[in-house]
Protein backbone atom coordinates (compact mmCIF):
# COMPACT_ATOMS: atom_id res chain seq x y z
CA UNK A 1 0.00 0.00 0.00
CA UNK A 2 2.80 2.43 0.84
CA UNK A 3 4.89 1.71 -2.24
CA UNK A 4 2.48 3.10 -4.76
CA UNK A 5 1.73 6.51 -3.29
CA UNK A 6 5.39 7.14 -2.46
CA UNK A 7 6.40 6.44 -6.08
CA UNK A 8 3.70 8.85 -7.15
CA UNK A 9 5.00 11.35 -4.61
CA UNK A 10 8.53 11.17 -6.00
CA UNK A 11 7.13 11.57 -9.48
CA UNK A 12 5.18 14.62 -8.38
CA UNK A 13 8.27 16.21 -6.81
CA UNK A 14 10.34 15.49 -9.91
CA UNK A 15 7.59 16.98 -12.03
CA UNK A 16 7.47 20.16 -9.97
CA UNK A 17 11.26 20.55 -10.12
CA UNK A 18 11.18 20.05 -13.88
CA UNK A 19 8.39 22.62 -14.19
CA UNK A 20 9.56 25.32 -11.81
CA UNK A 21 13.31 24.61 -11.31
CA UNK A 22 14.55 26.81 -14.16
CA UNK A 23 12.23 29.64 -13.12
CA UNK A 24 13.35 29.37 -9.50
CA UNK A 25 17.02 29.56 -10.50
CA UNK A 26 16.46 33.06 -11.81
CA UNK A 27 15.85 34.78 -8.45
CA UNK A 28 18.70 32.73 -6.97
CA UNK A 29 21.24 33.93 -9.57
CA UNK A 30 19.88 37.47 -9.40
CA UNK A 31 21.06 37.58 -5.77
CA UNK A 32 24.39 35.85 -6.49
CA UNK A 33 27.55 37.95 -6.39
CA UNK A 34 28.90 36.94 -9.82
CA UNK A 35 28.72 38.10 -13.41
CA UNK A 36 28.03 34.61 -14.69
CA UNK A 37 24.94 32.55 -13.95
CA UNK A 38 26.77 29.43 -12.83
CA UNK A 39 27.22 27.31 -9.73
CA UNK A 40 28.79 27.35 -7.19
CA UNK A 41 27.09 30.42 -5.74
CA UNK A 42 29.57 33.00 -4.51
CA UNK A 43 27.82 35.37 -2.12
CA UNK A 44 24.71 37.45 -1.54
CA UNK A 45 24.32 40.81 -3.23
CA UNK A 46 21.61 43.24 -4.33
CA UNK A 47 23.90 45.09 -6.72
CA UNK A 48 22.25 43.49 -9.76
CA UNK A 49 19.00 45.12 -8.74
CA UNK A 50 20.79 48.44 -8.41
CA UNK A 51 22.33 48.05 -11.88
CA UNK A 52 18.91 47.10 -13.25
CA UNK A 53 17.45 50.37 -11.98
CA UNK A 54 20.40 52.27 -13.44
CA UNK A 55 19.90 50.70 -16.89
CA UNK A 56 17.70 53.37 -18.53
CA UNK A 57 17.16 51.57 -21.83
CA UNK A 58 15.92 48.53 -19.93
CA UNK A 59 13.57 50.65 -17.83
CA UNK A 60 12.35 52.37 -21.01
CA UNK A 61 11.51 49.03 -22.62
CA UNK A 62 9.71 48.03 -19.42
CA UNK A 63 7.66 51.22 -19.67
CA UNK A 64 6.92 50.46 -23.35
CA UNK A 65 5.67 47.01 -22.43
CA UNK A 66 3.48 48.37 -19.65
CA UNK A 67 1.92 51.00 -21.92
CA UNK A 68 1.32 48.51 -24.76
CA UNK A 69 -0.06 45.97 -22.26
CA UNK A 70 -2.57 48.41 -20.77
CA UNK A 71 -3.76 49.68 -24.16
CA UNK A 72 -4.02 46.12 -25.53
CA UNK A 73 -5.94 44.77 -22.53
CA UNK A 74 -8.45 47.63 -22.56
CA UNK A 75 -8.94 47.51 -26.34
CA UNK A 76 -9.22 43.72 -26.57
CA UNK A 77 -11.73 43.62 -23.70
CA UNK A 78 -13.73 46.49 -25.21
CA UNK A 79 -13.93 44.56 -28.49
CA UNK A 80 -14.53 41.22 -26.79
CA UNK A 81 -17.39 42.32 -24.53
CA UNK A 82 -19.98 43.29 -27.19
CA UNK A 83 -19.01 40.22 -29.24
CA UNK A 84 -19.39 37.96 -26.20
CA UNK A 85 -22.78 39.50 -25.38
CA UNK A 86 -23.99 39.08 -28.95
CA UNK A 87 -22.88 35.45 -29.10
CA UNK A 88 -24.31 34.44 -25.72
CA UNK A 89 -27.53 36.48 -25.74
CA UNK A 90 -28.87 36.28 -29.27
CA UNK A 91 -29.34 33.47 -31.70
CA UNK A 92 -27.34 35.07 -34.50
CA UNK A 93 -27.50 33.77 -38.03
CA UNK A 94 -24.00 32.37 -38.58
CA UNK A 95 -23.15 32.71 -34.89
CA UNK A 96 -21.20 29.44 -34.91
CA UNK A 97 -18.84 30.36 -37.76
CA UNK A 98 -18.39 33.86 -36.30
CA UNK A 99 -17.37 32.37 -32.96
CA UNK A 100 -14.96 29.95 -34.65
CA UNK A 101 -13.43 32.79 -36.65
CA UNK A 102 -12.89 34.85 -33.51
CA UNK A 103 -11.31 31.90 -31.70
CA UNK A 104 -9.00 31.00 -34.58
CA UNK A 105 -5.91 32.96 -33.38
CA UNK A 106 -5.81 30.53 -30.43
CA UNK A 107 -4.74 27.66 -32.67
CA UNK A 108 -2.66 29.50 -35.28
CA UNK A 109 1.05 29.48 -34.36
CA UNK A 110 2.05 33.02 -33.44
CA UNK A 111 4.96 32.87 -35.87
CA UNK A 112 2.42 32.54 -38.71
CA UNK A 113 0.42 35.48 -37.39
CA UNK A 114 3.59 37.50 -36.94
CA UNK A 115 4.81 36.91 -40.51
CA UNK A 116 1.36 37.56 -41.95
CA UNK A 117 1.00 40.80 -40.02
CA UNK A 118 4.49 41.90 -41.02
CA UNK A 119 3.64 41.41 -44.69
CA UNK A 120 0.32 43.23 -44.30
CA UNK A 121 1.81 46.17 -42.43
CA UNK A 122 4.77 46.67 -44.75
CA UNK A 123 3.40 45.66 -48.14
CA UNK A 124 -0.28 46.57 -48.01
CA UNK A 125 -0.63 49.30 -45.42
CA UNK A 126 2.84 50.80 -46.02
CA UNK A 127 3.10 51.69 -42.34
CA UNK A 128 6.26 52.02 -40.32
CA UNK A 129 6.83 49.41 -37.65
CA UNK A 130 6.33 50.82 -34.16
CA UNK A 131 4.84 50.01 -30.80
CA UNK A 132 1.44 50.67 -32.42
CA UNK A 133 1.89 47.77 -34.82
CA UNK A 134 3.00 45.57 -31.90
CA UNK A 135 -0.13 46.63 -29.98
CA UNK A 136 -2.37 45.82 -32.96
CA UNK A 137 -0.83 42.34 -33.23
CA UNK A 138 -1.32 41.78 -29.51
CA UNK A 139 -4.96 42.83 -29.67
CA UNK A 140 -5.49 40.17 -32.33
CA UNK A 141 -3.89 37.55 -30.07
CA UNK A 142 -5.83 38.68 -26.98
CA UNK A 143 -9.39 38.84 -28.36
CA UNK A 144 -10.02 35.06 -28.21
CA UNK A 145 -8.80 34.91 -24.62
CA UNK A 146 -10.89 37.91 -23.66
CA UNK A 147 -13.96 36.39 -25.30
CA UNK A 148 -13.48 33.00 -23.65
CA UNK A 149 -13.36 34.60 -20.21
CA UNK A 150 -16.29 36.94 -20.88
CA UNK A 151 -18.53 34.34 -22.54
CA UNK A 152 -18.14 31.87 -19.70
CA UNK A 153 -19.17 34.64 -17.31
CA UNK A 154 -22.12 35.77 -19.44
CA UNK A 155 -23.37 32.23 -20.01
CA UNK A 156 -23.33 31.68 -16.26
CA UNK A 157 -26.11 34.08 -15.44
CA UNK A 158 -29.81 33.78 -15.98
CA UNK A 159 -31.04 35.42 -19.17
CA UNK A 160 -34.29 36.33 -17.44
CA UNK A 161 -32.39 38.88 -15.31
CA UNK A 162 -32.03 41.07 -18.37
CA UNK A 163 -35.64 40.40 -19.36
CA UNK A 164 -36.73 41.36 -15.86
CA UNK A 165 -34.95 44.69 -16.25
CA UNK A 166 -36.73 45.34 -19.55
CA UNK A 167 -40.01 44.28 -17.98
CA UNK A 168 -39.46 46.75 -15.14
CA UNK A 169 -39.23 49.61 -17.60
CA UNK A 170 -35.55 49.96 -18.52
CA UNK A 171 -34.42 50.20 -22.14
CA UNK A 172 -31.66 48.07 -23.67
CA UNK A 173 -28.81 50.46 -22.81
CA UNK A 174 -29.84 51.01 -19.17
CA UNK A 175 -30.34 47.26 -18.81
CA UNK A 176 -26.72 46.83 -19.91
CA UNK A 177 -25.55 49.49 -17.44
CA UNK A 178 -27.67 48.41 -14.47
CA UNK A 179 -27.68 44.62 -14.87
CA UNK A 180 -25.36 43.13 -17.52
CA UNK A 181 -22.24 45.15 -16.75
CA UNK A 182 -22.30 44.79 -12.93
CA UNK A 183 -22.86 41.04 -13.30
CA UNK A 184 -20.16 40.70 -15.96
CA UNK A 185 -17.69 42.82 -13.94
CA UNK A 186 -15.59 39.92 -12.56
CA UNK A 187 -15.24 38.60 -16.12
CA UNK A 188 -14.24 42.04 -17.41
CA UNK A 189 -11.58 42.39 -14.72
CA UNK A 190 -10.08 38.97 -15.32
CA UNK A 191 -10.15 39.61 -19.07
CA UNK A 192 -8.16 42.84 -18.51
CA UNK A 193 -5.59 41.03 -16.38
CA UNK A 194 -5.26 38.09 -18.73
CA UNK A 195 -4.84 40.27 -21.84
CA UNK A 196 -2.28 42.43 -20.06
CA UNK A 197 -0.18 39.42 -19.13
CA UNK A 198 -0.39 37.93 -22.63
CA UNK A 199 0.75 41.19 -24.20
CA UNK A 200 3.45 41.76 -21.58
CA UNK A 201 4.92 38.28 -22.12
CA UNK A 202 4.59 38.06 -25.86
CA UNK A 203 7.80 37.79 -27.84
CA UNK A 204 7.30 36.51 -31.39
CA UNK A 205 4.77 39.04 -32.69
CA UNK A 206 6.53 41.87 -30.85
CA UNK A 207 9.91 40.83 -32.31
CA UNK A 208 8.55 40.89 -35.86
CA UNK A 209 6.42 44.01 -35.62
CA UNK A 210 8.47 46.32 -33.46
CA UNK A 211 10.34 49.32 -34.83
CA UNK A 212 13.08 51.25 -33.08
CA UNK A 213 11.45 51.01 -29.68
CA UNK A 214 11.53 47.63 -27.97
CA UNK A 215 9.12 45.90 -25.67
CA UNK A 216 10.75 44.25 -22.69
CA UNK A 217 10.92 40.64 -23.96
CA UNK A 218 12.50 41.78 -27.21
CA UNK A 219 14.96 44.01 -25.36
CA UNK A 220 15.94 41.21 -22.96
CA UNK A 221 16.54 38.84 -25.84
CA UNK A 222 18.87 41.37 -27.49
CA UNK A 223 20.84 41.80 -24.25
CA UNK A 224 21.38 38.12 -23.51
CA UNK A 225 24.40 37.97 -25.81
CA UNK A 226 26.45 40.06 -23.36
CA UNK A 227 27.33 38.17 -20.18
CA UNK A 228 27.96 41.32 -18.18
CA UNK A 229 24.37 42.42 -18.84
CA UNK A 230 23.00 39.12 -17.59
CA UNK A 231 22.72 39.69 -13.82
CA UNK A 232 20.68 42.88 -14.29
CA UNK A 233 18.44 40.97 -16.66
CA UNK A 234 18.01 38.20 -14.10
CA UNK A 235 17.09 40.80 -11.49
CA UNK A 236 14.46 42.26 -13.78
CA UNK A 237 13.19 38.79 -14.68
CA UNK A 238 12.78 37.99 -11.00
CA UNK A 239 10.88 41.22 -10.39
CA UNK A 240 8.56 40.48 -13.31
CA UNK A 241 8.09 36.90 -12.15
CA UNK A 242 6.82 38.19 -8.83
CA UNK A 243 4.60 40.78 -10.52
CA UNK A 244 3.02 38.28 -12.95
CA UNK A 245 2.47 35.74 -10.18
CA UNK A 246 0.54 38.34 -8.22
CA UNK A 247 -1.53 39.29 -11.29
CA UNK A 248 -2.34 35.68 -12.23
CA UNK A 249 -3.39 34.78 -8.71
CA UNK A 250 -5.53 37.91 -8.55
CA UNK A 251 -7.20 37.09 -11.87
CA UNK A 252 -7.94 33.55 -10.78
CA UNK A 253 -9.36 34.67 -7.44
CA UNK A 254 -11.62 37.14 -9.21
CA UNK A 255 -12.78 34.47 -11.64
CA UNK A 256 -13.60 32.07 -8.81
CA UNK A 257 -15.44 34.85 -7.01
CA UNK A 258 -17.43 35.27 -10.19
CA UNK A 259 -18.26 31.57 -10.43
CA UNK A 260 -19.61 31.57 -6.89
CA UNK A 261 -22.14 34.29 -7.58
CA UNK A 262 -22.75 33.28 -11.18
CA UNK A 263 -26.11 31.62 -10.69
CA UNK A 264 -28.23 34.25 -9.02
CA UNK A 265 -31.48 32.60 -9.97
CA UNK A 266 -31.02 29.31 -8.21
CA UNK A 267 -32.23 28.52 -4.74
Shortest distance, CB of residue 186 to other proteins, whole angstroms? 11
- Burial (CB < 10 A; 0-12, 13-18, 19+), residue 221, is middle
Contact call for residue 152 and other proteins (CB under 8 A) = no
Contact call for residue 154 and other proteins (CB under 8 A) = no
- Burial (CB < 10 A; 0-12, 13-18, 19+), residue 199, is buried
**Pairwise CA distance, residues 47 & 32, whole Å:** 9
Q: Where in 167-186 is the site for other proteins (CB under 8 A)? A: 167-171, 178-179, 182-183
**Pairwise CA distance, residues 233 & 211, whole Å:** 22
**Pairwise CA distance, residues 111 & 77, whole Å:** 23
Nearest CB to other proteins, comparing residues 53 and 161:
161
Measured from the Cβ of residue 70, the count of other Cβ atoms closer than 10 Å reads 16
**Pairwise CA distance, residues 94 & 185, whole Å:** 28
Judged by CB under 8 A, the residue of 98, 161, 241, 247 near other proteins is 161
Q: Where in 233-262 is the site for other proteins (CB under 8 A)? A: 261
Phi, psi for 214 (deg, rounded to 5)? -105, 150
Contact call for residue 158 and other proteins (CB under 8 A) = yes
State yes or no: cis peptide before 204, omega within 30 of 0: no
Contact call for residue 38 and other proteins (CB under 8 A) = no
Judged by CB under 8 A, the residue of 26, 71, 122, 164 near other proteins is 164
Judged by CB under 8 A, the residue of 47, 89, 166, 256 near other proteins is 166
- For residue 218, give the nearest of 139, 106, 130 by alpha carbon: 130
Nearest CB to other proteins, comparing residues 19 and 168:
168
Nearest CB to other proteins, comparing residues 162 and 202:
162
Shortest distance, CB of residue 91 to other proteins, whole angstroms? 10
Shortest distance, CB of residue 163 to other proteins, whole angstroms? 6
Q: Which residues bind other proteins (CB under 8 A)?
A: 157-158, 160-161, 163-171, 178-179, 182-183, 261, 264-267
Amino acid sequence: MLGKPSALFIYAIAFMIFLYGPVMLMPVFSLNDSTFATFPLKGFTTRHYASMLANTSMILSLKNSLVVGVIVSVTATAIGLPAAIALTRYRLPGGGPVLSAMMLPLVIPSIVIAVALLVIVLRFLHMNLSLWTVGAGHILLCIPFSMTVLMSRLEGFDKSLEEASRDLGENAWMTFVRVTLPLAAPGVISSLLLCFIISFDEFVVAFFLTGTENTLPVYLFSQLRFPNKLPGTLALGSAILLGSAILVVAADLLRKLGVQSAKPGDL
